[in-house]
Amino acid sequence: MHDSILEIMLQKYDDFTKSEKKIIDYVLDHKKNAQYINILDLSAACHVAVSTVSVFCKKLGLDGFNDFKMELAKATMPVAGVTTVGAATGEISVDDTLEEVLAKTCNVSQDALLQTYHLLERDAVRAAVDLLEHANQVICLGQGNHSIVATAAWARFSSVSPRFKTVQDAHLQTVAVSTLSENDVVLFFSYSGATRELLDIAKVVKSRKAKLILVTRFSNSPGTAYASAVLLCGSDEKPLLFGSIAAVVSQLYIVDVLFSEYLRRDYKRGEKTREFIAKALTHRFD
């Protein structure tokens, strides 16, 4: 494909339907961020059906929406400053060499981080840290692979404050949120934002008048209706693909952002606690 996807869209503009032109107009007006949007959010932003977006991609001679985003990333690479490791991108296949596996895996994680950086709304981050800062207690929760992220969040924040906790067992998670007060916060990690476990927890949190911070991929997921702050992670995961490390990487990045901003607001007290913990841990190696 000699011409970029942007040039092709402009060249064939008159050949598209009215609805498809809305997609082109949106992409041209949001070149920098459009490569990080998912198909549901793009269809909502353009007020067209998801199927219209899929047909639009096919008309461009592409395999699908992910292929479209890849071409868009290439077209905007000089502007966005996106770099890749080698030329290997896309899904790993059985015919790939080890070098291609290394490059593709690195590029997937890098893309997840870049997407998350662009998708994170600064006001949402500030609102989330406000909630963490003033909470009596914060319970970090997640299911499946995301329970790892919840544990990492607890471990990170517990180095500066005793108010952060985590619970792994699903039954005990319900017990824990059932005793929350209106000054408590739940930090929940869910890629889809639509699992039954999340929605059950969210309903209990709401009934207790506590606050929910939701880290998810989709801004229009059912769980966002219960959240006081929504933080979007940028990893693209196939619907039937479970356990994407890139999704975990993107959420861990959000944990680091929240922690750094939380610590920055009260750096002296946080560092004092961290120094005490460091001294306590040194005795374990004596």
pLDDT digits (tens, 9 = 90+) for 87-140: 555 667 788 889 888 888 888 888 888 888 888 889 999 999 999 999 999 999
d(CA 210, CA 197): 17
pLDDT at residue 5, as a whole number: 84
Residues contacting 215, CB < 8 A, separation 6+: 149, 187, 188, 189, 190, 231, 232, 233, 251, 254
Helix orientation angle between 50-59 and 65-75, rounded to the nearest 10 degrees? 60
Which DSSP state fits 136?
S
* Weakest-pLDDT range from 14-28, 32-46, 138-152, 234-248: 234-248
pTM summary value: 0.71
Helix orientation angle between 50-59 and 39-46, rounded to the nearest 10 degrees? 100
d(CA 224, CA 7): 36
Amino acid at 65: F
